[in-house]
Structure 1
Amino acid sequence: MTTTMTRRFAAVDLGASSGRVVVGTFTGESGEGTGESGEGRGRLELDVVHRFANEPVRVGGTLHWDILGLYRGMLDGLRKAGPVESIGIDSWAVDYGFLDADGVLLGNPVHYRDARTDGIAGRVRDLYDVNGLQTLPFNTVYQLLAAAGTRQYAAAATMLLVPDLLAYWLTGEIGAEYTNASTTGLLDVRTGNWSWSLIEELGLRADLFPPIRRPGEVIGHFEGTPVVAVGSHDTASAVVAVPSKIKDFAYVSSGTWSLVGLELDGPVLGDDSRAANFTNEGGVDGTIRYLRNVMGLWPLQECMREWGSPDISDLLREAAEEPGLRYVVDLDDPVFLPPGDMTGRLRNLAGLPADAGNAVIARCILDSLALAQRRAVRQARDASGRNPQVVHLVGGGARNELLCRLTADATGLPVLAGPVEATALGNLLVQARAAGVVTGGLDAMRALVRQTQQIVRYEPRGDDAPWRAAAARVGR
């Protein structure tokens, strides 16, 4: 005799422009859990119970996150979620808040797009041999160096990354979840722990860094409900939900950023990897997310904001009718990082005619993004020695049929698009495993994703010559 079980979990998923609380309901029969060996018969349904805006605020010339607004949105969502077995929190990486000795937040976290770190990375030695990270001007290490010497830095007792800060407010417990800590530039990529020698070398305060905790650990409790550490870097959670059956896959976690790479068993720290500016970030179950940050859909989002938020479906349909690869830019150029006048920067760098309409600009962005993703997949392949057979495109970009088709054409590999809600799924799956609802490793969790989520396949079309020519035009 079997017994039907229903188990509910809540994922708090914070993106760079919005947040939401998602309830995952796992339904199955006792004795039929998903295991390492294959597909289980359980069901997993998602319900987005609350959405809220994430709008940065500029104060005194500095761009901040509205962290109290995010906390309020999270609490509103958890109330709407109702009774759940546990809660997990994920967000973007690198940004943090300082707590004083009484556990009080000393100021709103500074936004990674703020200019305070400009030029700092160039004054610091190459840290790749320790952290294995892509050099990005907003990495936490450079933010901390920018903050050093300020009164806030002197008064701080603890540094907490955004999801750890929110978890602290829920539970009163201090710690640093591993996958997000691995993006700071101050974790030793080989040991998975803080590099105290590097922290000392850079003159940073060792007492600011809390103990590392791993995905699946119970952090504490919120009103009696366990709060579980998940892959709190949103990309780490998204990669958990990549529905691959094979080991040799590439992934694109597509949203404001495109995180493009491979899942590996260990870091790649050779000269080719360093030259390609690839990052080795921590993943769930001791994996390495070997990837590059590509500018993603941010330029399109900024342009649409400047254009008065036109209908995205109409815009993409018109963009698909435009000739491909007429205008391309290098989206890895840091000129595209700050907000404001994105249309003007694209017109200038792509050589767009003055009368180019919105659809032409959108096609330029998407062609350029597919080209950047092609480059990242090939560089990851060459530096790692792994040969991906398919590209899994997950996240919000999986809804963008034009981007998916262009990515297949550019990479010359089949693209499997979906799930759209990969980050929330990965968050929920780690919680469900901690509760014993899912047994086994990443294979088991991915089997459940394949069973319950819609995946769309796009085959590459045509030859590679136009993409090679476009890559040559942008100097890549």
Structure 2
Amino acid sequence: MSSRPDSGKESGATSVLAFDLGASSGRAIVGRLADGKLTMTEVHRFANEPVAVGHHLHWDILRLLHEIKQGLLKAKLAGYHDIDGIGIDSWAVDFGLLSATGELLGNPYHYRDRHTEGLIEEVCGVLGKERIYRSTGIQFLPFNTIYQLRAIQKAGNPILGQAKHLLMIAELLRYFLTGAVKSEYTIATHSQLLDATARTWDAGLLEGLGLPASIMPDIVEPGTIVGDLLPSICEELGVPSVPVIAVAEHDTASAVVAVPAAEGDFAYLSSGTWSLLGTELPAPVLTDEAMRLNFTNEGGVERTYRLLKNIMGLWLVQECRNEWEKEGKRRTFAELVKEGEQAEPFVSLIDPDHADFMNPPHMPRQIEAFCRATGQPVPETEGAMIRCVLESLALKYRMVLDYTERLSGRRFPVLHIVGGGSNNELLNQFTANAIGRKVIAGPTEGSAIGNIAVQLMALGALNGLAEARAVIRDSFPLQAYEPRETEAWTAAYERFRRLVG
């Protein structure tokens, strides 16, 4: 899928550089649109690991800035001297605070840090759960920005009093590149501090908690050019000044841009460390039932809303593999999936979203404990445990898809799976089996492709979301999965429903 460096301007092509940051790794990818086809070339990949300091877990934000600079440098050294734009997407909720002089105040907390435990109940007790949801439409998750701010406040951390601005991770890195202090709409929505209808910060929520509303920056829509690379960075790296674009900076928002749906009504699953399943709507769903089911209404491109629900995702597999590696049992993900495929079906099931799986000290033991507590056989092999996780994820996808259809009033004949998890053929097949309908998997690099597409839209190379999705359909391979063994999966689903309550 590589494009030839230095070939863009002569042929009328447009080239952009996308930085796609995930919870475990990041990558720099050059995207090039020419003759109606989008091609991608990865120029840099790097680890993104949290750092434990004392009792807290932080992101190494300056290391991420260093890696972004390396990506800029490697793109130049690879011969890409015609970059027309730069964009960054990342996970949501985590943030950095800037002083009045523009200095970073402390290292951003990691969303799996335990300092927010119990704060959903506390904050809802102060502000009212209905009040929060009717305004924001955001799923109640313990790591949302509102609870992280409350945790910093309760700890008496002085950085809140010193803060002039709050910027989410992608916004903060964009600030380091440009000096521009702007919040981007899609990533701002996940804070649970933004009014979904007015599309502005809800100052009442902040002030109700005694938090300074003034620290929330002006919001721009995805696809806004916010500035150019700072002269100091251009001089340091020997690169030209390039426009920096606020893409759909929440990686899920970018992934949804990359859903290659031809139909107007579609359901998607962004599959990776987290799974996010839902649909795209023209307005938020702020009903009592949506709140009871804990669905979220996050901002999308072209003033759309992503009605969806977070599901724990392949984090469960990743953490099992990490623990087994510590015991000297080294296997690739592909090997583990193969062992899972060979294991006996439907022996044990778990609720992937149970709080015990959020950040346990030892994931395999936690899964064993859950099975034991629910009167199920304990998985005896690594393959049996992987099968338990993958079957449970597929069944949870069916449950959330059913809820999505109920809340949206729509029926979706196909589920599109994008992101790294779309490479997991066994999970894709299990998902088709569980939901009893076709699954279309791909593209794999959903967030990066969406990042690139929004840049191309901002630069005028693509005329809106519909054209972007048409180009993506024509540019990347897709794999279809038809449902099998639906009777057995339906029986398993009834058992799963009783298990999760």
**Alignment TM-score > 0.5, same fold:** yes
Q: 1:462 pairs with 485, 489, 498, which one?
A: 485
Q: SS where residue 220 of structure 1 aligns? A: strand
Cα distance in 1 between the residues matched to 2:277 and 2:75: 32
CA contact (8 A) 1:248 1:389 kept: no
CA contact (8 A) 1:264 1:290 kept: yes
Aligned residue number for residue 437 of structure 1: 461
Q: SS where residue 34 of structure 2 aligns? A: strand
Cα distance in 1 between the residues matched to 2:362 and 2:452: 38
CA contact (8 A) 2:138 2:296 kept: yes
Aligned residue number for residue 399 of structure 1: 423
1:188-224 per-position Cα deviation (integer Å, ceiling 9, x unaligned):
0001111122222222101110000111111111131
1:48-103 per-position Cα deviation (integer Å, ceiling 9, x unaligned):
11001101001121000011111111110111112311100000000001111110
Written as runs of structure 1 = structure 2, the 5 A alignment for 1:90-105 is: 90-105=89-104
Written as runs of structure 1 = structure 2, the 5 A alignment for 1:321-336 is: 321-336=342-357
Distance 1:255 1:355, change over 3 A: closer
Cα distance in 2 between the residues matched to 1:292 and 1:5: 41
Written as runs of structure 1 = structure 2, the 5 A alignment for 1:187-336 is: 187-222=194-229, 223=234, 224-308=241-325, 309-336=330-357
Cα distance in 1 between the residues matched to 2:159 and 2:73: 33
Q: SS where residue 486 of structure 2 aligns? A: coil
Cα distance in 1 between the residues matched to 2:471 and 2:405: 28
Distance 1:275 1:355, change over 3 A: closer
Written as runs of structure 1 = structure 2, the 5 A alignment for 1:14-413 is: 14-28=21-35, 42-82=36-76, 83=81, 84-124=83-123, 125-126=128-129, 127-148=132-153, 149-222=156-229, 223=234, 224-308=241-325, 309-351=330-372, 356-413=380-437
Question: What is the deviation of 1:321?
Answer: 1.6
Distance 1:393 1:208, change over 3 A: same
Report the TM-score, using the length of structure 1 for normalisation.
Answer: 0.94
Root mean square deviation of aligned Cα: 1.3
CA contact (8 A) 1:89 1:229 kept: yes
CA contact (8 A) 2:259 2:416 kept: yes
Cα distance in 1 between the residues matched to 2:43 and 2:263: 33
Cα distance in 1 between the residues matched to 2:494 and 2:305: 33
Q: SS where residue 85 of structure 1 aligns? A: strand
- Structure 1 stretch displaced more, 384-393 or 8-17: 384-393
Aligned residue identity for 2:402: R
Unpaired segments ≥5 residues, structure 2: 1-9, 235-240
CA contact (8 A) 1:177 1:215 kept: yes
The runs of 4+ residues in structure 1 deviating greater than 6 Å are none
1:140-184 per-position Cα deviation (integer Å, ceiling 9, x unaligned):
001011112421111111111101100000000101000000000
Distance 1:233 1:355, change over 3 A: closer
Aligned residue identity for 1:436: G
Question: What is the deviation of 1:324?
Answer: 1.9
CA contact (8 A) 1:253 1:395 kept: yes
CA contact (8 A) 1:117 1:137 kept: yes
CA contact (8 A) 1:302 1:339 kept: no
Kindly indicate which of the two structures has a greater share of residues assigned to helix. 2
Report the TM-score, using the length of structure 2 for normalisation.
Answer: 0.90
Give the number of aligned pairs: 460
Q: SS where residue 480 of structure 2 aligns? A: strand
Distance 1:212 1:380, change over 3 A: same
Question: What is the deviation of 1:409?
Answer: 0.9
1:239-258 per-position Cα deviation (integer Å, ceiling 9, x unaligned):
00000011221111000000
Aligned residue identity for 2:49: E
Distance 1:196 1:355, change over 3 A: closer
Question: What is the deviation of 1:350?
Answer: 2.1
Aligned residue number for residue 9 of structure 1: 16
CA contact (8 A) 1:230 1:427 kept: yes
Aligned residue number for residue 499 of structure 2: 474
CA contact (8 A) 1:176 1:213 kept: yes
CA contact (8 A) 1:244 1:446 kept: yes
- Structure 1 stretch displaced more, 457-466 or 100-109: 457-466
Cα distance in 2 between the residues matched to 1:473 and 1:346: 18
